[in-house]
Structure 1
Amino acid sequence: MQYFVTGATGFIGKRLVKKLLERKGAVVHFLIRRESADKVADLRSFWGTTAARAVPVFGDLTAKKLGVAADDIKKLKGQIDHFYHLAAVYDLGADEETQVAVNIEGTRNTVDLAKAIDAGHFHHVSSIAAAGLYEGVFREDMFEEAEGLDHPYFQTKHESEKIVRQDCKVPWTVYRPAMVVGDSTTGEMDKIDGPYYFFKLIQRLRQLLPPWMPTVGLEGGRVNIVPVDFVVNALNVISHQKDIVKKCYHLVDPVGYRVGDVLDIFSRAAHAPRMGLFVNAALLG
């Protein structure tokens, strides 16, 4: 089995490649910028594999057909069983121009390359952000119903998924992970993001107050959090199933947590004061 992966150096992508390489005889071709060629050795070390099974393909997400050389396209044509697109901007604070260039145009370029090499199946890793600020349950079979797409992150995630749905000429499947955090067994995380911003606050509370003293926390709706190993395992299993063409899968917690519950879980793990009372943040203006 041969694979092509964009975003192979990222938090999810790096671990997905490692999982794919566990399959007997698997070969992974991964997109990487030429100026990052010095990272290839470290990546192979992380994956525990050889040059023959982890093959760099130099290119650029913002270039036509990802900037992949014509000779490489010729070599890859008809050889790729599964094409995974994970390269994207995952930062809500990134500027709109960058998000459009990477999330929208990058997806368009990726879809074009998948067609050029006649990939067997295209797997697009989107996000629950594609639903925007939709109120209520946003099902896997919903897309056009998305609401509140004014923020560039929501808008570009929605548009990139739209490109796959409308323009992808090879069989495709969409996956929408929730907020992805560290490994559920090791706790390993590549960057401080999302709920990890709470850690400094909890650390400060632990320094100032005894653990038995209850504190007041802020409440503000629910969040859906999933560990990276869950996302990787789900991608690995679902993508190799039959009858998944033109389907979407939510890689989420079926229930989710209240923000207050998340804070309480973190506080308990850190042996910091528990949140005994929660105040709705909306009441504070």
Structure 2
Amino acid sequence: MKNNYFFTGFPGFITSSLLKELVKEEHQINHIYLLVLPQTLKQAEESLHNIPIESSKLTILTGDITKKDLNIASELMPILQESITHVFHLAAIYDIAVPKSLAEKINVHGTKMVNDWVQTLNNLKRYVYFSTAYVSGRREGNILETDLDEGQTFKNHYEQTKFVAEIEVQKIVSKVPTTIIRPGIVKGHSKTGATIKFDGPYFMLNMFEALKASPYIPYFGSGRVEGNFVPVDYVISATIYLAHVDKAIGQTYHLTDPSPYPMREVYRMLMKEYLNQSPKATVPLSVAKSFLIIPPLRKRLKIEREGLDYFTCKSHYDTTNAVRDLEGSGIQCPDFKETVAKMVEYYRIHKDDETKHIQIK
């Protein structure tokens, strides 16, 4: 039996990358359905020019994950309920500075609506839910893939709402064949450097660009915490593989770096590659955060103040389940050091493209 796929989150970076790889690997594709908001329809249609698939095998549906039945046209529902075999739910607000109300609407309520909808599908083989490793919040120490509610607090509304959303997904695991993916901070492709958004580790490059005329750029904080940055191609390849093997049903996976570098070393490697210089001295994080209270300074440096919280939380994300179940697939997380040159090269070429920068408020 051929597979019929349903995606939320298109034309977002990870969803688009998943779609391209899925088409490339030809997983017995019969049809692919992409759920998009009406206001992103034109952008979605333009994005499809980069997807090598016959138009007859792909349908864009307008809808809204925060509505009942995802606001999909009622006449299409019987077709989808009988045909869909794989659902990939990626639609979410990923901004670490997101307001609480918006995060709750999209990340929590939206996931509840998707959960309700997938339970109406009669031939579902897999529901793949994209969570985040950072549902661990401010917990420190070794974080297991089986851990979730440990009474933790959170650094921002993004983490807190993704935590609540994952709890909602866990409630239906016994009813629906589910695989939960928890990526680390996703960066560009390991071999090309390509990305559509300069956030996460790119905030460091933004700052280096803004301060490149300065002879002294310091470290911020001790930098002893792990910098858990994973290239998008690793996350995509691992997700597609796990979505099609029975051993991944009911499992949760940290798609994080099994051997991450300390944040101080990540910072040093990026500065060396971008500016050919090394950091001088150290500025306490409390001082750096106090400066970033000033909106014009945040905007000039293109850094979200909330991003500095990831320099302080001493967490290690255990990858036992992921490494075990990916064994034999040939899929491994590349060493961050080996990806730095392409990451910086891509940033250097596209740094003036404002569509790749998030809006700093």
TM-score, L = length of structure 2: 0.73
Cross-structure match for 1:132: 137
| Paired letter, 1:269 | E
| Paired letter, 1:133 | R
Partners of 1:95 and 1:283 lie apart in 2 by 24
Partners of 1:200 and 1:127 lie apart in 2 by 24
Cross-structure match for 1:230: 234
Cross-structure match for 1:4: 6
Aligned residues: 281
Instruction: Map Cα deviations across residues 235-256 of structure 1 (whole Å, 9 max, x no partner).
Output: 1111111122211000000132
Partners of 2:66 and 2:194 lie apart in 1 by 30
Cross-structure match for 1:174: 180
- SS of equivalent to 1:234: helix
Cross-structure match for 1:16: 18
Instruction: Map Cα deviations across residues 141-183 of structure 1 (whole Å, 9 max, x no partner).
Output: 1112251137322221111101111135311111100001111
User: Which of 148, 157, 168 is 1:152 aligned to?
Assistant: 157
| Paired letter, 1:245 | I
User: Which of 163, 171, 193 is 2:168 aligned to?
Assistant: 163
Q: What percentage of aligned pairs have identical amino acids?
A: 27
Cross-structure match for 1:77: 81
Change (3 A) 1:259 1:70: same
User: Which of 25, 29, 32 is 1:28 aligned to?
Assistant: 32
Partners of 1:99 and 1:204 lie apart in 2 by 30
User: Which of 156, 181, 187 is 2:193 aligned to?
Assistant: 187
- SS of equivalent to 1:137: strand
Say whether the 8 Å CA contact 1:128–1:177 is kept in structure 2.
yes
Gaps of 5+ in 1: none
User: Which of 37, 40, 43 is 2:41 aligned to?
Assistant: 37
The alignment status of 1:254 with 2:258, answered yes or no, reads yes
- SS of equivalent to 2:24: coil
Say whether the 8 Å CA contact 1:183–1:227 is kept in structure 2.
yes
Say whether the 8 Å CA contact 2:189–2:195 is kept in structure 1.
yes
Change (3 A) 1:146 1:258: farther
Partners of 1:151 and 1:206 lie apart in 2 by 30
Cross-structure match for 1:200: 206
The Cα of 1:34 is off from its aligned counterpart by 2.5
- SS of equivalent to 1:267: helix
The Cα of 1:45 is off from its aligned counterpart by 0.9
Change (3 A) 1:120 1:70: farther
Change (3 A) 1:130 1:146: farther
- SS of equivalent to 1:98: helix
CA RMSD in angstroms comes to 2.1
Matches within 5 A, 1:203-214: 203-209=209-215
Q: Which moved more, 1:39-48 or 1:227-236?
A: 39-48
Cross-structure match for 1:242: 246
Cross-structure match for 2:329: none
- Please list every run of at least 4 consecutive aligned residues from structure 1 whose deviation after the TM superposition is greater than 6 angstroms: none
Partners of 1:198 and 1:207 lie apart in 2 by 15
The Cα of 1:133 is off from its aligned counterpart by 1.0
Cross-structure match for 1:102: 106
Change (3 A) 1:200 1:33: closer
Change (3 A) 1:123 1:208: same
Gaps of 5+ in 2: 291-361
Cross-structure match for 1:141: 146
Instruction: Map Cα deviations across residues 21-66 of structure 1 (whole Å, 9 max, x no partner).
Output: 1233413211012333323432221112222222112211211121
Say whether the 8 Å CA contact 1:131–1:143 is kept in structure 2.
yes
The Cα of 1:185 is off from its aligned counterpart by 1.3
User: Which of 258, 271, 274 is 2:275 aligned to?
Assistant: 271
Partners of 1:157 and 1:41 lie apart in 2 by 28
Say whether the 8 Å CA contact 2:133–2:254 is kept in structure 1.
yes
The Cα of 1:283 is off from its aligned counterpart by 8.6
| Paired letter, 2:144 | R
Partners of 2:185 and 2:112 lie apart in 1 by 24
- SS of equivalent to 2:25: coil
